[in-house]
Amino acid sequence: MLSGLRDKVDTALEPVAKAFARAGFTPNVLTCIGFVVSLLAGILFAYGLPRFAAIALLVCGFFDMIDGAVARFTGKVTAFGGVLDSVVDRFTEAAIIIGIVYSVTPELGQWGWPAGVLALVGGFMVSYTRARAEAAGTGKLDVGFAERAERMLIFAIFALVERTGYALILVAIFSYITVIYRLVVAYRRLR
């Protein structure tokens, strides 16, 4: 859903991307900076500081957008950069969800860990379903509501109002709906 805004966001980020490129930042370095910030967000969640974690999460999202913009602007789009970005995205999501689960177990009681596991697996399956279907020949399969950007935005919004446990539940539900929807679309395209 938010991926459809990529062209508009890239246009808006072009001056910032130019500044980062002129300062000598490579796309892969920016990806790694975003990863470090995501670890900080996970730690802040774990220590029960969701509002600070939300800010760190938004900063992490900025680096997740700017690394691709710098790559496109400088002509340094590489296959390895795409792989690195995808792997870092999975670790980022895991760090955030683990931090949230650690802090919200009292909020959700016995349902904290299961909600976290379902959200984590669901998020991974959204990405895996797309990658596997595209490799099978579906063409671009960026359908559904729970892409990574949406999931991170849900976590950030719920963290700002200190209800991250409910974000886990919402992310889990939306993730599985998205996986099912992607499977249906992939089935139709591959028939």
| CATH code given to domain 2-190 | 1.20.120.1760
- At 34-85, the pLDDT tens digits run 999 999 999 999 999 999 999 999 999 999 989 988 998 888 899 999 999 9
User: Can you give the residue ranges of every domain in the chain?
Assistant: 2-190
> In the predicted model, what is the mean pLDDT of the chain?
91
Confidence of residue 172 (pLDDT cuts 50, 70, 90): very high
Catalytic positions, written as ranges: 89
pTM: 0.88
Distance CA 41, CA 51 (A): 10
In the 8-state DSSP scheme, what is residue 161? T
- At 140-168, the pLDDT tens digits run 999 998 999 999 999 999 999 999 999 99
